[in-house]
């Protein structure tokens, strides 16, 4: 708180059909394509190279055909033969099979290819898995609770370098993987809408630095909100504490109105005043905007991240852009209560989230993780 992704060998005609289907399919720009190999060096394969909805997706000897050519376009989908890898019936249960289906934007067609070589469906928070750890040709693929086992490890094409549709370095699928239990209030669209207020955020320096900054911000947010679960501060007894009557403008919304809200848990009347002035919003008189409007909530978090040093010596944005390290972001958010040995468990919680999020984004965390 501030002060915080054969059947027996194919006959020639079937192979030609698969190639023509792939050529005629319009896929998003910059898509990276290739086979997805896994258990026993075998490939993710569309049974019989059949592009019909509901065709089983299976494990099979790698053969370089269109039935095994998958594109990772950066929009969260994995596509073959012009259709998407899809969880049957939108199930989120262990053992739900995967299939080929028309791309429709559903959450059951979203996949994150992590740096740890997992292919995760964020809606289920489960991994693409070879059923029963069986490497025989034709074994059906499914989703299952991620366990780090060999039947869940894949070598997949990286996302094409075109960025995400939103322009943010974190895709919606990655965001959902980071926060599988998040409160619906903390929407991805709200975050994306807020980015225009601070265009330098996660948009400065190399691609690595951009992703590290995004991961750092979201890791601190994760800690402040219990995984994007809490919109407001839970300890109501603290609410009257956040009014500093020495400020000339006082507390017009009421002494108990300036409690922690939003992704960084903005608190104190003077912080509401400063954030509102910067954002062109009257948060001093209407602090409830932060808990009622997702875009406003995200903007206050970005305001603090990009402009405030708190108890630290630099803004969290500058700490990441100038490679001072993740630890300095902790210091600027809650260093007076956590850093220099004051609360190592809280620091470790933030560092663990940062390491997890950088892994999802496929970048190294860098050094100086602690404060």
172 is catalytic: no
Pull the structure tokens for residue 84: 């998407």
Tell me how far apart the terminal alpha carbons of the chain are, to the nearest angstrom: 16
Half-sphere exposure of 4 (CA within 13 A, CB side): 24
pLDDT of residue 287: 98
| C-beta separation of 338 from 346 below 8 A | yes
pLDDT of residue 165: 55
Evaluate whether 12-152 and 172-361 have a shared fold: no
pLDDT tens-digit map of 24-69? 333 333 345 688 989 988 999 999 999 999 999 999 998 888 899 8
**Residues in the chain with pLDDT values less than 50:** 3-31, 160-163
pLDDT of residue 2: 55
The b/e string for 301-318 (b: 16+ C-beta within 10 A; e otherwise) is: bbbbbbebbbebebbbbb
Closest CA to 277 of 255, 307, 256, 257: 307
Residue with token string 């808990």: 291
Task: From the options 3.30.70.980, 3.30.230.10, 3.30.2230.10, 2.80.10.50, give the CATH code of 12-152.
Answer: 2.80.10.50
CATH code that applies to domain 172-361:
1.10.530.10
pLDDT tens-digit map of 184-239? 999 998 899 888 888 889 988 888 999 999 999 999 999 999 999 999 999 999 99
Annotated catalytic residue within 213, 224, 233, 338? 224
Q: Could you state, in order of their start, the residue ranges of all structural domains in the chain? A: 12-152, 172-361
């Amino acid at each position: 708180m501030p002060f915080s992704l054969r059947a027996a060998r194919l006959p020639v005609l079937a192979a030609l059909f698969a190639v023509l289907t792939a050529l005629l399919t319009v896929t998003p720009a910059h898509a990276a394509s290739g086979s997805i190999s896994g258990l026993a060096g075998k490939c993710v394969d569309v049974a019989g190279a059949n592009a019909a909805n509901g065709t089983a997706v299976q494990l099979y000897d790698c053969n370089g055909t269109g039935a095994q050519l998958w594109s990772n376009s950066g929009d969260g989908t994995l596509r073959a033969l012009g259709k998407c890898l899809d969880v049957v019936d939108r199930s989120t249960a262990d053992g739900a099979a995967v299939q080929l289906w028309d791309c429709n934007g559903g959450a059951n067609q979203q996949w994150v290819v992590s740096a740890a070589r997992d292919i995760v469906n964020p809606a289920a928070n489960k991994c693409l898995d070879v059923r029963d750890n069986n490497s025989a040709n034709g074994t059906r693929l499914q989703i299952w609770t991620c366990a780090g086992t060999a039947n869940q490890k894949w070598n997949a094409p990286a996302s094409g370098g075109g960025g995400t549709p939103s322009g943010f370095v974190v895709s919606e699928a990655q965001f959902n993987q980071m926060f599988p239990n998040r409160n619906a209030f903390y929407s991805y669209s709200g975050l994306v809408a807020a980015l225009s207020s601070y265009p330098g955020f996660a948009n400065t320096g190399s691609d690595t630095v951009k992703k590290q900054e995004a991961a750092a911000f979201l890791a601190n947010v994760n800690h402040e909100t219990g995984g994007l679960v809490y919109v407001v501060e839970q300890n109501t007894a603290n609410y009257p504490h956040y009014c500093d009557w020495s400020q000339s403008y006082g507390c017009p919304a009421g002494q108990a109105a300036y409690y922690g809200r939003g992704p960084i848990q903005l608190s104190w009347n003077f912080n509401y005043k400063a954030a509102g002035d910067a954002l062109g919003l009257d948060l001093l008189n209407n602090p409830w905007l932060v808990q009622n409007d997702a875009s406003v909530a995200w903007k206050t978090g970005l305001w603090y991240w990009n402009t405030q040093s708190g108890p630290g010596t630099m803004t969290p944005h500058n700490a990441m852009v100038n490679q001072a390290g993740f630890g300095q972001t902790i210091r600027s958010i809650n260093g007076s209560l956590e850093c220099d040995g004051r609360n190592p468990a809280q620091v470790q919680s933030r560092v663990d989230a940062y390491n997890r999020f950088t892994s999802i984004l496929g970048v190294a965390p860098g050094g100086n993780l602690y404060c």
